[in-house]
Chains A and B, each alone.
Chain A
Amino acid sequence: MKFVVVRLAQLIVVLLAATFFTYSLTFVADSPEDVVDKLLQSESGNETRRAEVRRDLNLDDPLLIRYGKWLGDAATGDFGFSYNAQEPVADRLQTRIPRTFALVLLSQVIALLLAVPAGIIAAWRANTWVDRGLSSTSIGLLAIPNYVAGLFFVFLFALQLGWFPSIVSNNLNPSSFTELAQPWSWDLNSYILPALALSLGQVAVYMRLLRTDMIATLQEDFIGMAKAKGMPTRHILFRHALRPSSLSLVTTIGINAGAAIGGTVIIEQIFGMPGMGTMLVTAIFSGDIMVVQGVVAVIAIGFVIINFVIDLLYAALDPRIRSA
C-alpha cells in the first residue's frame, strides 16, 4: 500500500511539473497580448473581444495564479475554450483521446506479438543463424523511422495491394470512451497500418531486450534443473524463463508507450487520423494555445498513468520491488 501511495505522490508531482512547464512555456514565448492576437486573429483589433479573451484566460493575473486557475479547471475536466474551433477543448478531446489511445494500444499489442516470440526464439537459438537473422532484422527495423514505414505501408498495402485505406475514416471508431471500452467495435482495418508503422521500432527494442534477459535466465540453475527433469522446451521457455526475463521488457513498455503517444503526432498526420496528434499539430500551427495546453496535459497524464501501471505490474512480477 505504501508503495502505491509513494508512486501516486510521485505521479502528482510529475503531472504538476509537466503541466506547469507547458503552461508557462506559452507565456514565455509570447506576451499576453501576443497570445490574444494569435487567438483572435482577424478579430484581434476588436477591443471587446480582446477583453473577453483576457478575462477568460485570466491574463491580468500573475502567471502562478493563472496557472492555478487553469489547473483547477483542468482538474474538473475543463481545459478551456478553443477559439479556433469555437468549442470547449474537452469536447474535442473526448473524441480524440480514445482514437489515439486505441492506436497506441494496438501498436503495443502488435509490437509484443511480434517481439516476444522472436525474442524467445533468438535467445533459445542464441548465436545461431536464426539468432543472427532475427537480430539483424531487428536492427533494420530500428533504423527505419516510423514515418518512413508509414509511407511505405501506404504505398504497398494501400496503393499497390489495396488491402487497407491510405487514410482512415473520419468516423473512426472508437470516437468515445464508451466505444473505447468495446474493442470489437473498433475500425481495425483503419488502424492496422498506422499501428504497424508505430510498432516497428518497438518490435526491435522489445525483442532485443527480451533476448538479452532470456539468455541470462536460461543460464540459471533452475532452468538446468527443468531441463534435467525432461520438461518440454516450450514449457521451460514460456512457464519458467519468460516471467523472470520480462522485468526490463515491462519497464520499457511503459516508457515506449509514452514515446508512442508522441509518435502518433506524425503517424496521425500521414494517415489523416483525427486523433490527438493531428489535433496538437493543428493547434500549434494555428496558435490555439488552449488546445495545445490541453493535449499536452492529457499526454502527460497518459504517460504518467501508464508508467504508474507499469510500476505496479513490475512490483507484481518481482515482489522484491515492493519491499525495496
Chain B
Amino acid sequence: MLLTLCQQATYGRRNDVTSVTGRASSQGTLLPAAIGKRSVTSTQGGNFVRSQSTRRSTRLLALLLGLAMVAAACGGDDDTTDNANPDEGPTDSEPDESDAGDPVPGGKLTYGLEADTSTPWTPAKSVCAISCHMIMRSVFDTLTLFGEDGSVQPNLLESFEANDDFTEWTLTPKSGITFHDGTPFDAAAIKVNLDAHLTSFLTAKALLNVEGVELSADGASAVVTMKSPWNRFPVFLSGQIGYQASPAWLTAAEADPALEAAPVGTGPFVFKSYEVGSSFVATKNAEYWRADEGLPYLDEIEYRVLADAQARKNALLSSDIDIMHTSAGLVISDLREDDSIELTENSSFGETNYTLMNVDNPDSPINDVRIRKALAMGIDNQVLIDRRGAGIGQQANGPFSPDQAGYLEETPYPAYDPEGAKALVEEYKADTGVSSVDIAYTTTTDPANLETGELLKQFWDEIGLNVELAQIEQGSFIVTALSGDFEMFGWRNHGGVDPDSQRIWWHSETADAPPALALNFGRIKDDVIDEQLDALRQTNDEDEITAAAQAINTQFGEQVYNLWGSWTVWGIAKDPKVNGLDSFVLPDGTPEIYGNGIGGSHQVSQLWIGE
C-alpha cells in the first residue's frame, strides 16, 4: 500500500445505494427499488475473494454501508503493503466450512487486531477505525444492519419509517431488550444515544442535517427531525452512529471518565477487561436478545493487539491466536500460500490510500492547483506499489474504487508525467518569483510509513520540489488533521459505496477554518462538489446518484485535491477450526452483507470453534 495511515469507514454498495427507493416499507426495511443483485465472482477487481474458490462459488457481495466515524488509527498494518493484488484473482486457500456441521457453543477465541485505536468506548467520542469496530460490535449492537441484497434492515429496531418528504424518521425499538447493566433498551435510550452524537465534538458533524430527536407521543418511538430531506438516514444507523450504549453507563461515564474504558451495550458479549494497547476481553452475554438463536456461540472472546502484521501472522501460524485481520499485502500474499490457515479476502468498496492535502492554506504552494498537479504527475504509482507493496496493489485514479458509485475508468486525474510536472513547477516559480517550492509531507512514526514518504520525496525531488519529511506520533496524527495544521499527510479513507456517506469529508459545511476541528480535513471548499453532494442527498434515482458521484470524482481529478495511490484489500485469516465467519444473519433470518460494509471487520456472535 502506500500509506496505511488514517481510515474512516463509511461503506456501502453501489447497487444498494443507487437502488434505494428512499421509502421505508411498513416493515421498516429500506428496500432497493431494483435489487440488482450482482453475482460477483471475485476473479478480478478484487471483490469478495474466497480463497480456494474453485471448491466453492463466490458469494454475492452486496452493499456495504454504515458510518464509522473518523479516520483513525491508522495504526494498522505497517503500511508497507496495503493492497493485495486484485489482478491475481482467487487464491488457493479458502474457508470451506461446508462440512463444519452445526455450530458448537462454547470455547474461547483469540483475535489478533492491527491496532488499538478506540478508547474511550463511548460511541460519540470514539475515534473508531477497523479494530475499534471489531470490539464495538462485540459489546454493542447497531440500530440497523445491511442485508445481503443491499437493503437496510432493522437490527435493534423493530421498524424505521419516514414521512413523505424524508424530513422525519420514526425509530421504533424492539421490545424486551436490555443492556448488560439491566437498563432497558427503549426509545428513550435511542434518544440518549443520538443526543450524545448531536452534542459530540467528534460525531456531531455527521448529523448536521438533524434538527433534533424527540420521543413520540406514546413514548414508544424516537422521532428524528431533519433540516432537509434525508432519505438514507437509516444507513448511518448501521455504523458508529447506530451503536447503542447504556444510558446509565453514559451518564456514569460522564461523571467518571474511568468508566469509559468499560463499555456497556446490548451486544453478544459483556465487557470483562481491557488493557490499552494489549487486549480487550469480553464474555458471553447469556441474556443476549438473540439467545434463542444460540447466539453468541463463544463463551469468551479476547482481542489481542498485535500491531506488527508479521507478528500477527506468526501468532496465527503458531496457534497463539485463532483469527486475525490484515491489510498488509505482503502478509496476505504469504497467507495465500499457507495451507494450514483459511483466508478470506475482501477488496470491495475498500478505502483509498492517498496523500491528503490541505488545500485551503494560502501560505502553502499546495493552494495552487499547478503544484497539486505537479505533485500528482511526479509520482509513479506503479513503482510505489512495486516497491512498497511487493507489486501487490491496484492503482487508484480517484476516491471511488471499482465497486463504488462514482467510479470511473478514466478520470481527469493526472497521469505520471515527470517532464510535465517539472514544467508546471517552473511555471509556478516564474509566476510567484520563488526560487524553491517547499512543502511538508507528514506521516506517523511507523518506520514503514517513513519509507513510503522517502520514496515519495524522491519522486518529488526529481521534479524540482523541495519536500520535507516529518513524523508525528499516532496520537497526534488525527488531531493534527482535524485542526488543519498540515500540508500533506499520508492517509487512508473513503471506503463504502454510498457517496452520501462521504459528505462529511468533502462538503464545505464541515471545513471549518483552522484551528477549529473539521472532518473535511483538507478544507476542500468546492462549489461543484458541494452541489453534487447536496444533490445526492435529495434524490433516490440511481442514475442521478451515480452521475453526481462521478461528477465529484471528475472534479477531484481536475482540481487534484488529493493524490490518489491505491485501493485497499483486507484479509481475514483463521484457523480452520474457527467457523461461521460468513454465516451471520439478520434478526429476520436473512443473510447480512459480509462485515456490514466495513472492510477488515465482521460480526462475531456467529463464530464458533469446531474440532
Contact = CB atoms under 8 A, between A and B. Distances in A.
Contacts of B311: 154, 166-167, 269-270, 272
A42 B202 contact: yes
A37 interface: yes
Interface in B284-340: 302, 304-308, 311, 314-315, 317-318, 320-321
B320 A42 contact: no
Contacts of A176: none
Interface stretch (B96-104, B161-169, B471-479): B471-479
Given A154-B314, A274-B278, A284 B473 contact: yes
29 contacts: A37-B483, A38-B475, A38-B479, A41-B127, A41-B478, A43-B125, A43-B201, A44-B479, A45-B201, A85-B276, A86-B120, A87-B258, A87-B261, A88-B258, A95-B275, A155-B314, A159-B318, A162-B318, A165-B318, A166-B318, A167-B320, A269-B311, A272-B305, A278-B277, A278-B278, A279-B276, A281-B277, A282-B277, A282-B278
Contact of B474 (A85, A158, A286): A286
B420 to A, nearest CB: 39
Given A41-B127, A44-B479, A287-B476, A272 B315 contact: yes
B201 A170 contact: no
A85 to B, nearest CB: 4
Most buried by B among A82, A166, A288: A166
A45 B201 CA distance: 7
B569 to A, nearest CB: 24
B321 to A, nearest CB: 7
A122 B274 CA distance: 50
B119 interface: yes
B260 interface: yes
Nearest to A168: B320
B475 A288 contact: yes
A322 interface: no
B235 interface: no
Given A42-B201, A86-B119, A158 B278 contact: no
B437 to A, nearest CB: 28
A45 B514 CA distance: 12
Given A86-B120, A287-B476, A44 B517 contact: yes
B482 interface: yes
B83 to A, nearest CB: 24
B516 interface: yes
Contacts of A288: 475
Contacts of B260: 86
A84 interface: yes
Contacts of A88: 258
B537 to A, nearest CB: 25
Contact of B473 (A37, A167, A285): A285
B204 to A, nearest CB: 10
Contacts of A43: 125, 201-202
Contacts of A162: 318
A162 B474 CA distance: 34
B314 A159 contact: yes
B342 interface: no
Interface string A49-92: 00000000000000000000000000000000111111110001
B304 A166 contact: no
Nearest to A87: B258
Interface in B431-489: 444-445, 473-476, 478-479, 482-483
Interface of A: 37-38, 41-46, 81-88, 92, 95, 154-155, 158-159, 162, 165-167, 170, 269-270, 272, 274, 278-279, 281-288
Contacts of B474: 285-286
Nearest to A33: B515
Contacts of A282: 116, 276-278
Contacts of A272: 278, 304-306, 311, 315
Given A41-B479, A166-B315, A167-B320, A86 B304 contact: no
A87 B253 CA distance: 12
B318 A84 contact: no
B257 interface: yes
4 smallest A-B Cβ distances: which pairs?
A282-B277, A287-B475, A286-B475, A85-B276
A37 B483 CA distance: 10
B304 A170 contact: yes
Contacts of B126: 42
Contact of A42 (B304, B444, B473, B482): B482
B279 interface: yes
A86 B253 CA distance: 10
Contacts of A46: 201
A243 B261 CA distance: 53
Contacts of A281: 277
A86 B478 CA distance: 19
Contacts of B261: 85-87
B70 interface: yes
Given A42-B70, A84-B475, A86-B120, 14 more contacts: A37-B479, A38-B475, A41-B475, A42-B479, A42-B517, A83-B257, A85-B261, A86-B119, A86-B261, A167-B304, A170-B275, A272-B305, A282-B277, A285-B445
B302 A170 contact: yes
A8 B299 CA distance: 52
B67 to A, nearest CB: 15
Contacts of A285: 75, 444-445, 473-475
A83 B258 CA distance: 8
Interface in B205-257: 257
B276 A165 contact: no
Given A285-B473, A285-B474, A82 B276 contact: yes
Contact of B320 (A38, A45, A165): A165
Given A42-B125, A278-B277, A285-B445, A86 B257 contact: yes
Contact of B517 (A45, A81, A270, A278): A45
Contact of A84 (B276, B314, B478, B483): B276
Contacts of B258: 81, 86-88
B264 to A, nearest CB: 14
Nearest to A95: B275
Contacts of B314: 154-155, 158-159, 166-167
Nearest to B253: A86
Nearest to B69: A42
Contacts of A287: 473, 475-476
Nearest to B199: A46
A140 B317 CA distance: 29
A38 B476 contact: yes
A43 B203 CA distance: 11
Contact of B276 (A42, A92, A284): A92
Looking at B116, B202, B475, which has the most chain A CB atoms within 10 Å of its CB? B475
A44 B481 CA distance: 13
B114 to A, nearest CB: 13
A288 B516 CA distance: 22
Contacts of A45: 201, 516-517
Nearest to B72: A42
A162 B314 CA distance: 11
A155 B276 CA distance: 27
Contacts of A83: 257
A71 B410 CA distance: 62
Contacts of A87: 258, 261
B106 to A, nearest CB: 19
B255 to A, nearest CB: 12
Contacts of A95: 275
A271 to B, nearest CB: 8
Given A274-B279, A285-B445, A84 B119 contact: yes
Contacts of B478: 41-42
A95 B276 CA distance: 12
A282 B275 CA distance: 11
Contacts of B127: 41-42
A270 B306 CA distance: 9
Contacts of B202: 42-43
